[in-house]
Structure formats: structure tokens, C-alpha cells
Amino acid sequence: MLPRVIPLFPLPNAVLFPGMPLPLHVFEPRYRKLVADVLGGQGVIGMVLLKPGWESDYHGRPAVYPVGCAGRLEECDPCADGRFNIVLKGVSRFRIGEEHAGQPYRLASVAPLGDAPGDALALDQLRGRVRAAIGREADGPTLLVTSPDLPHELFVNALCQSLSLSPVEQQSLLDCDTLPARYTRLLEILDFRQLERTYGRGGSESVH
């Protein structure tokens, strides 16, 4: 069960997906306090992605994407200088409601978001198409792609987090409310990259 109010950890380059681990090195004083508070509290941190333009207000409250993923604190290794090495495991997507004051880090009321599974046959077909697309990638995660027994949610979320995608591409995948939609969006990204490799970033007049 996701707490109603959770601390937010906004970053410009990390997107967490349900069921996936995310290692982080925590060094800023406000986020060191966040981790210390979480250790003595509910054990949940809300990972959110900063929107472009965050640099001018990084130490304030720069804009973030409204959908994030809550992670449970699975591992915490305190350093002698007060920093932390932690590992979060994604538990649920959420949508940010109202933000709250009271801490040096950001707090927000959140509403949990599910991942509707969709039709089993359609999911199997989408999975096959993703496996084929990944197989064309020279650096594709072969072991993951060829593993036949992973549940669909774990399979697609692991790809979304482990593939070399931009943070904004990952965010567009996290925004998807169903597993078929996430599969389909991932295929769009992979197909576009294949076109880029074939025709170059400038495209070709013969491709529409």
C-alpha cells in the first residue's frame, strides 16, 4: 500500500519502473536527510524526473513530470561522511497531487496508478515483436530477451529501465497506463532508432 504522502527525489537522469532496482549515491544534504527520515519511517521514496530547464532552479522546486514511481528502500549503506549508497525497488507508479512544505526536501500527496495487463494473446504478440526488435540491437540484453518465463510486467519494465534510452523516452514509457501501451511505445522507440541507423538522423526523402 502506497502512503498518501511521500518524499520526492527528483533527478534529471533516472527513471524507476515497478519491480526494478535502482542504485543511487546520495550526497546532497537535503537528500541525506530524506534517506535518514525514510529509514525511520515508511521506507518509501518517490522518484520523479525533472523537466527540461531544471538547471536554473535545481536547488529550489523545478518542474517535474507528474507521473513517477515509488521505490521501497531495500538496501542502505551509510558512508563515514554522511552520504548513503542505497538501492530502491520500484513498487508502484503514482501521480503527484499537491506538494507540501515542511522539509528541506519535497513532499507530495500522491495517487497510486496501476498497470492494466490487457489481453494475454495480444501481450504475447507484442512481446515477440519486442524480442525481434531487441535482437536487431547490437547491444541488446540477450539473456533477458531470450528468457521465456518472465511475467510480462517484469519483462517490459526491465527493458524500459535497462536499455540505453534517454530519460525522456523512459518517462514516456512510465506514463503508459497499460502493459500493451508500454510495449507499443517501446516498439515505436526501437523502430525509430532502427530508421535512424538505416537512413541517418537527417532521415531520407523516401521515408515518410
DSSP calls for the chain: ---SEEEEEEESS----TT-EEEEEE-SHHHHHHHHHHHTTT-EEEEEEBPTTGGGGTTS---B-SEEEEEEEEEEEE-TTS-EEEEEEEEEEEEEEEEE-SSSSEEEEEEEE--B---HHHHHHHHHHHHHHHHTSTT--HHHHH-TT--HHHHHHHHHHHS---HHHHHHHHT-SBHHHHHHHHHHHHHHHHHHHHH-TT--TT--
- The domain segmentation of the chain, as residue ranges, is 5-113, 120-199
pLDDT in the model for residue 100: 94
Distance of CA 183 to the CA centre of its chain: 15
pLDDT in the model for residue 192: 79
pLDDT in the model for residue 199: 65
pLDDT in the model for residue 207: 35
How high is the mean pLDDT in each 10-residue block of the chain (208 residues)?
Answer: 94 96 96 95 96 86 96 96 96 96 94 92 93 71 60 94 94 97 96 70 43
pLDDT in the model for residue 205: 40
Architecture of domain 5-113: Roll (2.30)
Q: Which of 64, 117, 118, 112 is nearest to 91 (CA)?
A: 112
Q: Judge contact between 72 and 89, C-beta under 8 A.
A: yes
Pairing between strand 21-26 and 5-11?
Answer: unpaired
